[in-house]
Structure 1
């Protein structure tokens, strides 16, 4: 009886050893865990470049133009020289080219009266190229000239009794001279003042400034 019992015990030991060496089988129904996604090889997008700020001119990189300056204009823009003054007198010229030879007259403040002499150095007669000298304020010049033209040649192109006229010579032709004397006090308030020729169409070119200094 002992021998069969010993064989049975040996068989049990062998069976247990065989069970210990076998690994448990994988469950075919188990869900496999997902594998991690491969890293992207494309470069990351770069942010859009910011354009340069626009200037005040409205375009990139453009320079603003320099500000215009407001420099005052000279009173005498004719480019002609000033009249020569001596002993409260001056002599100026008019010619057949419809021009005075000076662009300004400066009357000394020490003078109580002042005399202007006009020499017509041309050859044409009064009817074709007459000249005179009329003095008024700059603001009155246009009206005085227009009314003088309407007055006609018989009035030397000066309206009779025109209080806007400070002084005026008669009209002269080529080779003739004329003059006028007036109180300097008439130029010492208001202004600015001008002298011009009132023959029709001449004032646009034959004019200048007159002042007390």
Structure 2
């Protein structure tokens, strides 16, 4: 049975985290995955080159442009976008299977991908936007990663305002000043969304059984 209520079957949900690069969505994702065994990370397909330490099939599926474009043509992606000159996308089949089986999936994607997911699986979607506490904090976090050259840091800072402009398209907003506090807020959002009545596909049968037992 799905998590949330062990007695009632439910449909899974798609928990989306979006933010400008450096605001902390990846750190929040990792903390949630470490703490909650009932949610799994969606592994995206990308044409971006692997960063140090990234593993194919675990962090991303790394493919070339020809393969990615074939997946688009075959409608094998739930969403896809071009970000900083690279393709990113979500394979359709494993996500639809997980949700139907009552399993939750976590997405670390941008606003473009979120809009496409909203068009295809709106009833299953929970959208959370993560904001940095200040522009200075955002720049400091980007530099602390020490993975991107100076021109990439400058470009990400320039793009941040545009990305942040989409905050109102999300169901929840977390200002990530303190990681522990933000993580607690994210857990609360997930717990509440798991208990939504319209996600509990077995609730009617459970209530009828309960009523019959009480009669």
TM-score between both structures, scaled by the size of structure 2: 0.22
- Which structure shows the bigger proportion of residues in helix conformation? 2
Higher relative contact order (CA 8 A, sep 6+): 2
